[in-house]
Amino acid sequence: MRLKEGNKGNDILTAAIKVFAENGYHNAKIHKIAELAGVATGSIYVYYKNKETILQKIFEQLWERLYNELNVISKRSDINSVEKFDAMLDLLFDVFIQDPALAVVFVNEQNLLLQKKPKEFTPYYQKFIDLGECIVVEGINNNVFHPDVDVKIVRSFIFGGLRFLLHQWAQNPGEFPIDKIRQNVKQLTKQGLLL
Amino acid sequence: MRLKEGNKGNDILTAAIKVFAENGYHNAKIHKIAELAGVATGSIYVYYKNKETILQKIFEQLWERLYNELNVISKRSDINSVEKFDAMLDLLFDVFIQDPALAVVFVNEQNLLLQKKPKEFTPYYQKFIDLGECIVVEGINNNVFHPDVDVKIVRSFIFGGLRFLLHQWAQNPGEFPIDKIRQNVKQLTKQGLLL
DNA sequence: CTATTTTTTGAACTCAGATTCAATAATGCA
DNA sequence: TGCATTATTGAATCTGAGTTCAAAAAATAG
């Protein structure tokens, strides 16, 4: 018997995130992912059924992690709704700051997968979204958030704004300090533009 | 001499927007665009150099139009900064409401082009962005907008949020009335979530 | 050390689909 | 009406990248 050496499955995933981020999913060549992962082209197909499966796995891991961490936040009883809202934004920032390439892939390719194979998209995504919604509803019920906003619309707006900013930052990290972005997003979502 | 009948160039563009929206650029087949436009496959290449050129043309038209209309708004002296800001949001809503498929293409494919061929991307896009920035700066100078926000960050956040919402709406127009979205976005960008 | 099993390899295969182009049709003009 | 010019066609070509697979290498067991 022979054991698989190292963790090639993970190496491939990490390499794929980089290559997908740089070239976009459709322009990413399998052979380049293999090269970056330090394996042969054929090995990719030992670990993943095909190119699309790699993308699916990336989102699976991402959303599972985000959901689990948001779950912890939403259950805390030592902080109020506004603080939970803050913590949620921080969570998203922290995850993507750790891995800018992942931020780019997330922004560019999530729609692709969701549109093409909605059934096979990780359920953790929906669970995360639902939790985020809960936090805002809780804030409304506790009289700290405007009651006349539609939670689903607000959720999508903030989510979309964040996506776009993270994408910009990931492609050109020097342009803005990420903490300035973080601070502005919190200001804007909570207070708005008006004085 | 023989003249080209009808306006096949435009028919192809309109068909392409539909097919790109439904399948995404990379999964869109030229032969399907041709079919929808009512021309033969080969005719596409009489009017456009290749598939990518069609996408470029779509964005060229879109941003030229948006820039021109925002230009009119920004020059008006009968309305104040907040009203200009409102008018800018209305402009974006109106254009994409008119053509949901265009909204989907815009959200899904703009990054692709910008990343791949930044030099060839229509300059009207940057001009539009700059104008939007001016309107917010004007609002800050007139003491109606928070002075401690970074204009570029705000601009991207709002833009990203809008994109995401329009995309959701375009894919499922029944879920939310677009006017509710419009109203929520204005509320959120100006007042924020907090009471 | 040999046999057996599993992992790894990468050149070769495949095939979808973008692009081409020779043939055909349509129009304007004399 | 017939000629010249341009528009249109769509089957055939070509290309490139995802995928396969038979062979080689590595690891373990006896």
**Residues of chain B positioned with their CB less than 8 A from the CB of A171:** 115
Contact (Cβ atoms closer than 8 angstroms) between residue B90 and residue B179? no
pLDDT at res. B6: 76
**Residue A193 belongs to what H/E stretch?**
none
* Contact check, Cβ <8 Å, B162/A157: yes
pLDDT at res. A173: 87
Residue B195 scores a pLDDT above 90:
no
Distance of CA B182 to the CA centre of its chain: 15
Which SS3 state, helix, strand or coil, does residue A31 take? Answer: helix
Give A104-135 pLDDT, tens digit per residue. Answer: 999 999 999 999 999 999 999 999 999 999 99
CA R_g for chain B = 19
pLDDT at res. B13: 98
B6: nearest nucleotide, CA–C1' criterion: D7
Residue A64 scores a pLDDT above 80:
yes
Contact (Cβ atoms closer than 8 angstroms) between residue A12 and residue A47? yes
Match 């962005």 to its residue by tokens. B129
Is A8 within 7 A of strand C by CB distance?
yes
Q: How many residues does chain B have?
A: 195
Contact (Cβ atoms closer than 8 angstroms) between residue A101 and residue A21? yes
The DSSP code for A78 is: S
Average pLDDT score over residue span B154-164: 91
Percent of chain A with pLDDT over 90: 83
Q: How far apart are CA A191 and CA B14, in angstroms?
A: 41
Residue A3 scores a pLDDT above 80:
no
**B108-CA/D9-C1' distance, Å:** 32
Strand partners, B145: A194
Average pLDDT score over residue span A9-32: 97
Average pLDDT score over residue span B91-113: 94
Q: How far apart are CA B183 and CA B30, in angstroms?
A: 39
Give A128-164 pLDDT, tens digit per residue. Answer: 999 999 999 999 999 999 898 999 999 999 999 998 9
* Contact check, Cβ <8 Å, A195/B144: yes
Residue B25 scores a pLDDT above 80:
yes
pTM value surpassing 0.75 = yes
